[in-house]
Amino acid sequence: MKDYKTIKLLFNELADSISFLSDSDIEKLVSGEYQIAIKVQRKKNLTNSMAGFESKSSEYENILRDLNLIESREAGTEFLNEKLKNKVNFEKFAKFIDVAVMKSDKVEKIRDNIIETTIGARLRSEAIQNKKNKNIEGMD
């Protein structure tokens, strides 16, 4: 059982590291001309890690702002697939906007929950508002 926990910890560290790669770094890896090198080092102090969180937080705020401007679920899906490259990124963004995520959830489920919480909720609200307005106009 201890080996399982050790492997899980190592994979979580690896996934976290990969989630912070830039799009250009990912493209370099995909090209096959670059490789990942693993280096063991002491974790940054709290001040440095908070700076990383703030930069990620700012990035997530930008994604959320852009997502709120999108007019359809389909366009939202495409947008999120471009911005969030893997399950770890989807999970972190979902947590950032308070969308519940279970460990067993697949990327598609997490993405769909994000879409429904943001775009879907807004579209439903707009549809309800339009229906109310039409009913009010019909009463005149």
Q: What is the pLDDT along the chain (140 residues), one digit of tens a residue?
A: 568 778 887 887 787 777 777 778 888 888 999 888 887 777 665 444 444 445 567 889 999 999 999 999 999 999 999 999 899 999 999 999 989 888 889 999 999 999 999 999 899 888 888 876 666 666 65
Q: Are residues 17 and 74 in the same domain?
A: no
Q: Are residues 23 and 73 in the same domain?
A: no
Tokens of 62: 């930008």
DSSP annotation of 113: H
The pLDDT of residue 27 is: 86
- Of the candidates 71, 86, 72, which has an alpha carbon nearest to the alpha carbon of residue 30? 86
Secondary structure of residue 50 in the 3-state scheme: helix
DSSP annotation of 105: -
Q: Are residues 30 and 96 in the same domain?
A: no
Q: What residues contact residue 88 under an 8 Å CB cut-off, 6+ apart? A: 15, 16, 18, 19
| Sign for the pseudo-dihedral over CA of 61, 117, 108, 71 | negative
Q: Are residues 98 and 114 in the same domain?
A: yes
Structural domain containing residue 17: 1-41
CB 74 within 8 A of CB 54: no
Q: Are residues 36 and 97 in the same domain?
A: no
Domain count, the chain: 2
Q: Helices marked H in 2-105 — which ranges?
A: 2-19, 23-31, 46-67, 73-83, 87-96
Q: Are residues 126 and 79 in the same domain?
A: yes
The pLDDT of residue 110 is: 95
The pLDDT of residue 48 is: 47
Q: Are residues 76 and 103 in the same domain?
A: yes
DSSP annotation of 127: H
